[in-house]
Amino acid sequence: MAIPSEAEYLRRERASFIKQLNEVEKAPLAERKEDTASFAEALKKDPELVVERLGWLLNGSYGKGSYDAAHEVIRRPRGNHGAWLVQVIGALEWRAPQKGVIAAWKKLTAKEQAHLKRLIDKEVKEALSVE
């Protein structure tokens, strides 16, 4: 059996990441609701846990495909990096669909959102400093 090339490895890792995200969106409705509720609770009551998991995403703990995608996003000069990261970690860790993650975010108070944004920005800055 031949050893796959680096390009093939990266392609497979990216495909695996996309497959994980798609599986979350296609899960049965009852599961999506339950997972969204679980994520919303974590976002509200334990934002540090959510940001810790973002750190795991940014350090490669969820795989090379998600790591590369996350680093592509945070290196972009424009865009809402935090929103993308929260949606991805909601899917990877809590299996919450994108719409559910967005709804959970919108239910936070302005103060809670600002606190989370500060924590996320700190995590992103740290990830960029070790690249």
Contacts of 33 (CB under 8 A, 6+ apart): 100
What is the pLDDT at residue 70?
97
Q: What percent of the chain has pLDDT over 70?
A: 99
Reduced to 3 states (helix: H, G, I; strand: E, B; else coil), residue 77 is coil
Distance CA 72, CA 85 (A): 11
Which of 2-6, 78-82, 92-96 shows the highest mean pLDDT?
92-96
State the average pLDDT over residues 106-130. 96
**Residue 32, both tokens:** 């999506």
Q: Give, for 2, the enclosing helix (H) or strand (E).
A: none
Average pLDDT, the chain: 95
Distance CA 123, CA 7 (A): 29
On the CB side of 109, how many CA atoms lie within 13 Å of its CA? 4
Q: How far apart are the first and last CA of the chain?
A: 33
Query: Does the CA dihedral 54-127-82-78 come out positive or negative?
Result: negative
pTM, rounded to two decimals: 0.92
On the CB side of 113, how many CA atoms lie within 13 Å of its CA? 11
